[in-house]
Amino acid sequence: MIPVRKRISYILIALSVAFVAPEKGLKDYYKAYFPIGVAVNPRMVQPGPDADLIKAQFNSMTPENAMKMGPIHPEENRYNWKDADAIADFAQQNNIKLRGHTLCWHNQTPRWFFTDSTGKTVSRKVLLARLKQHITDVMGRYKGKIYAWDVVNEAVPDTGTGIYRKSKFYEIIGEDYIEKAFQYAHEADPSAQLFYNDYNTENASKRERIYQLLKKLKDKKIPINGVGLQAHWSIYEPSAQELEESISKFASLGLKIQFTEVDMSVYPKEHEGRARRDTDKSEFTPEMNDKQAAQYKLVFDIFRKHRDKITGVTFWNLTDKYSWLDNFPVPGRKDYPLLFDQNGQPKKAYERVVNF
């Protein structure tokens, strides 16, 4: 007869062999640094491989489109809560942090927002009232479920010397529409972290103008907590110096920094859409794979170095199966900008991001 002590040891050995700990996800590798997020659509949070990948790898989420003004508020007296609710419910059920995106943006804003029943442009007073109502309703619905919001998105133009993009919000209200949006957001949910979000922030000219905008807000004591640097990059940019300059410059304002829309195009970066040319090929060559892995390593090395300033990093979509870059800047040119391939498998870039 086997002694009790030996029997127990055999059982423990058998259990240890039978139990295989799940492979660590991005969120686990970066647990001591910052949350790792992903932009999602409603289909991804339905039971299936996408939902499983989200749960395994990420501890933060952002709705890619479901909370933008057009999709969530298509008519003045009608909200479309279904898709946004599905994403918020999934986040809560799986203990995943949720970022809101976006409360005020010149794109994907429904036409009714700027016009009256006769089609004429509304007054400053009417547009401010509509903006306040929209922010109050949307933030109110998700109060306690969304910890951070991109309040104003892309208000600075890419070129020229002006600080403000000549959007409908700017033309009708004036530059203080940005201040008002942050004030309305803070009133709607005083506990939410409020971000200004923009792209091309490693360009010296645009970075300086964004900095001036944010400094104005800070000087006026407008309730803003952070800046979202979108990080729509490529395998050719940014340089380490450009990235570090952005982090240091914005952090000097006392703002939290989040990289909110990270992807790494395998093509040279273009910020304007154009027609497809004969020379535009949809391909992911071994050389592109190597370059992408090296560039992802470079930026994540810098992210970790500045862990005291960075409070979140979010990828703009889940896998290479789908990306907005498949149709921008070149319609129908497949891109491969993420850490997971079209089958949801980790790429060489993933290994470079997690091995440190």
Write out pLDDT tens, residues 312-356. Answer: 999 999 999 999 999 999 999 999 999 999 999 999 999 999 999
195, β-bridge pairs: 150, 226
How far apart, in whole angstroms, are the C-alpha atoms of residue 123 and residue 258?
35
pLDDT at position 7, please? 52
pLDDT tops 90 at residue 150: yes
pLDDT at position 278, please? 86
pLDDT at position 2, please? 53
- Tell me which DSSP letter residue 149 carries: E
Q: What is the mean pLDDT of the chain?
A: 94
pLDDT tops 70 at residue 12: no
Active centre residues (catalytic): 154, 261
Distances (CA, A) of 233 to 2, 82, 268, 336: 64, 32, 9, 12
- % residues pLDDT > 70 (the chain): 94
Q: Domain coordinates of the chain in residue numbers? A: 33-269+284-354
* Among 17-21, 41-45, 210-214, the least confident range: 17-21
Pairing of strands 36-40, 310-315: parallel
pLDDT at position 298, please? 98
pLDDT tens digits, 168-186: 999 999 999 999 999 999 9
Predicted TM-score (pTM) of the model is: 0.92
pLDDT at position 30, please? 98
How far apart, in whole angstroms, are the C-alpha atoms of residue 196 and residue 150?
6
How far apart, in whole angstroms, are the C-alpha atoms of residue 206 and residue 162?
10
pLDDT tops 80 at residue 8: no
State the CATH class of domain 33-269+284-354.
alpha beta
| Closest-CA residue to 289 (of 200, 352, 355) | 352
| Closest-CA residue to 195 (of 230, 152, 156) | 152
pLDDT at position 5, please? 53
pLDDT tens digits, 217-250: 999 999 999 999 999 999 999 999 999 999 999 9
Q: What are phi and psi of 269, to 5 degrees?
A: -70, 135
How far apart, in whole angstroms, are the C-alpha atoms of residue 196 and residue 255?
10
| Phi-psi domain of 174 (left: phi exceeds 0; alpha: psi -120 through 50; beta: other) | left
| Phi-psi domain of 108 (left: phi exceeds 0; alpha: psi -120 through 50; beta: other) | left
pLDDT at position 23, please? 78
Mean per-residue pLDDT, 40-61: 97
Residues 215-232 as b or e (16 or more Cβ within 10 Å = b): eebeeeebbbbbbbbbbb
Query: What is the H or E stretch that residue 251 is in?
Result: helix 240-251
Is the distance from CB of 307 to CB of 33 less than 8 angstroms?
Answer: yes
Token code pair at residue 167: 């959007």
